[in-house]
Amino acid sequence: MGSSTSLVPKSVTAAINAHGFGYFGCPHTFGQVGYRLKRTEQYIRVKPDNSSVVTDGVKHSMNPFCEIAVEEAVKLKEKKLIKEVVAVSCGPQQVQETIRTALAMGADRGIHVEVTGKDYETLGPLQVSKIMAALAKKEEAQLVILGKQAIDDDCNQTGQMTAALLDWPQGTFASELSLEGDKIKVVREIDGGLETIKINTPAVVTADLRLNTPRYATLPNIMKAKKKKIANVKPADLGVDITSRLEVLRVDEPPQRQAGMKVETVDDLVGKLKEAGMV
């Protein structure tokens, strides 16, 4: 369900536009892994018509990778490398809670892009990227940081699409991020190990697991966040068409785990596996 987090750092050299906003958007999504369809809090159940999962009464919280993205943004601001962190989230009224969490972690202000009802159910990475690209241009952001993927749909597309729409360089799966002059050095986690790249700003970066450990929103900051502003915006205001080009045909639960069996010896094990036709 629409996810994007972005952070924009301010460049310190004069050659680049001095506006620096930290952009940060967070998805409004479930707090647990999809593959097991089991939540930290409750079991996720598929609706009887197999159209999607039941979301009523399920507790939503910020996507873990988005938390990491917010943390990175706030850290950059604390190091005085960027001027302002803006948290963005797309969705219904409830996403404001998620934005407030980002504010409590240290973001300066929030932008709530209102998407509700059926539009929200069909909101996917392409539409979110269009929204993010429009906002990045409007706010004259220098860096957009997102979580690498949302843990409910595992798309891993929004960051890449946003960069493409903006024609900006991208540093995805970042496990380390540093600003060096007007460039950004990103250490990326790839299958073969770690890859270090240097990209120009403005740029899009997506946060991976080991980028940092997100701070707890402290109670004083939670209370301070109350005073920070969250602006309301509609996709139409940004000139973005959010009609979906995708149709979800069916959602099914993973097969039930069957009972296992304990055996005494390796021979027994091989025997049973042969019986079951597995070897």
Partner 1 sequence: MALRGRCLRFNQLLSSRHFSKFTSCVGVRSLSENVSSKPVTSNVPETTGDHLIYTQEHFALKESLRKIIDQEINPYVDQWEAEGKFPAHKIFKILGSAGFLGVNKPVEDGGLGLDFSYSVAVAEELGNIHCGGIPMAIGVQSDMATPALARFGSAELKKEFLIPSIMGDKVACLGVSEVGAGSDVSSIMTKAVRKGDEYVISGGKMWTTNGTQADWMCLLANTSDGPPHRNKSLICLPMNLPGVHIARKIDKLGMWSSDTAQVFFDEVRVPCKNVIGQEGMGFTYQMLQFQEERLWAVANVLTSMDNIIQETIQYTRQRKIFKQPVLYHQTVHFRLAELQTEVELLRSLLHRATALYIKGNDVTKLASMAKLKGGRLVREVCDSCLQYWGGMGFTSDVLVSRLYRDTRLMSIGGGADEVMLGIICKYMDTLPRK
Q: Given the complex with partner 1, which of 11 and 101 has the nearer CB atom? A: 101
Note the residue count of the chain.
279
d(CA 199, CA 212): 20
Q: Given the complex with partner 1, which of 237 and 268 has the nearer CB atom? A: 268
d(CA 111, CA 256): 41
Residues at the site binding partner 1, with contacts judged by CB under 8 A:
32-33, 35-36, 38, 40-42, 57, 59, 61, 64-65, 97, 100-101, 104, 149, 151, 154, 173, 189, 191, 208-210, 216-220, 222-223, 225-226, 256-257, 259-262
d(CA 242, CA 131): 9
d(CA 159, CA 173): 10
Q: Are 27 and 89 in contact (CB under 8 A)?
A: yes
Q: Given the complex with partner 1, which of 69 and 134 has the nearer CB atom? A: 69
Q: Given the complex with partner 1, which of 124 and 214 has the nearer CB atom? A: 214
CA 264 to mean position of chain CA atoms: 47
Residue closest to 174 by CA, chosen among 61, 25, 65, 12: 65
Find the shortest distance in angstroms from Cβ 40 to partner 1.
5
Find the shortest distance in angstroms from Cβ 122 to partner 1.
23
Find the shortest distance in angstroms from Cβ 135 to partner 1.
24
Q: Given the complex with partner 1, which of 93 and 243 has the nearer CB atom? A: 93
d(CA 122, CA 247): 8
What are 147's strand-pairing partners? 207
Q: Given the complex with partner 1, which of 139 and 208 has the nearer CB atom? A: 208
H/E element holding 88? strand 85-91
The greatest distance separating any two alpha carbons of the chain, rounded to the nearest whole angstrom, comes to 74
Structure tokens at 58: 């399920």
Find the shortest distance in angstroms from Cβ 134 to partner 1.
28
Find the shortest distance in angstroms from Cβ 41 to partner 1.
6
Find the shortest distance in angstroms from Cβ 238 to partner 1.
26
